Structure 1
Amino acid sequence: MCEKCRQLFSPIDQTTACPGCGRKQKQPRLCEDCQIWQTRHEPQLSNRALFPYATVQEYMGRYKFQGDYELRKLFQKQFQSFILAHATGVLIVPIPISEKTLAVRKFNQVEGWLEGLSYQKVLEAESRDGLPQSRKNKRERMQLKQPFSVRNDWKQRLKNRSICLIDDVYTTGTTLHLASDLLYSFGAKNVSSITFAR
């Protein structure tokens, strides 16, 4: 990527980001969405995000939805450095995609960025009929039922583990909160998350 294009991708200032979801803002306080999550969900999930979604929307469209797998390399090192800076000594767990989605897309976009980094496939995603998450509105996303299960080989190995979930985009937070709930139900000690965008 040339320097002119690279300057278009401005990372979120972590010193002023929302401590709940990682949203770009001017003051480091819980945003309105996270204040709502605080009233309806325990324990709280802390997410950090590398980029504001508006900055990377076109890139995500080409990489994730148009299947340009080579584009993973543009931000691979930067995203991995961001993860390692904020997730030291924890189990790194990517959010999975269903077999149905994998059959269409041919790759998991999150695992594409993690190539070469140590991570574990702890979760599995169910294949469901209906609209994909990316085509649902906020209310429909918030009503999502538990789409994940823990792989059999990990069910006895999560107790007292600190885990960092990795996903592409934090939109409403529902996906990450549901994954977090599941991991806590299997005895995880602490669950946080990092996303490419917010």
Structure 2
Amino acid sequence: MHNLNIMVKTLLTGILIIGMYMLCLDIRFESKWNILVEMSVLGKTRTLIPEYNKLYKIWNYNPSFLYNYAAVLNKASDFRTSNAVIKECIKYVNDYDIQILLANNYYNLNDLSLAEKYYMNASNMCPNRFIPLYGLFLVNQKRGDQKKCYELASLILNKPIKTMSSTIKNIKREVYVFNKSKKAINRLDERNEEN
């Protein structure tokens, strides 16, 4: 009985030591990551990529780190690597922000079909948001599909605003200018057809 108590105590002590060690590793990881996030906010994104790479190799299975790392890679214009990291993140969490990041990466890689797919996913996840519609507008503008752009412009201009922001103002302004110039071109075409 005495030997059994010693074995149980030894086993519990071992488990406690391993647990404390793992907790210390996790705290150290989170601390380093927090420093990188703060430095990224200060605009030092490109110089932080090697440090993010090091942390990625010892990743602690926090999907928020994967999203943050993919966003930093996107900001540094490394769209392919950003997609690889964000697709790993999707195994754990898949939300609006992830869909927007994927769409943005594919848009910048000129893969307009996948960009459109992910902007549509984001729009379906959060139908009240302007950014997915604006992304679709930009995709179709890049394709040269003026008719689709005009439809999206109308949707954006008529979409109710829940909370005004500078992003929404800029989107509405750009789409308004496009819409206005499109109407002017249509009137000019109609006059030319009449003459």
Fold shared per TM-score above 0.5: no
Higher helix share: 2
Identify the structure with the greater strand proportion.
1
Q: Given the two structures, how large is their TM-score scaled by the length of structure 1?
A: 0.29
* Structure showing greater Rg: 2
**Which of 1 and 2 has higher RCO (CA within 8 Å, sep 6+)?**
1
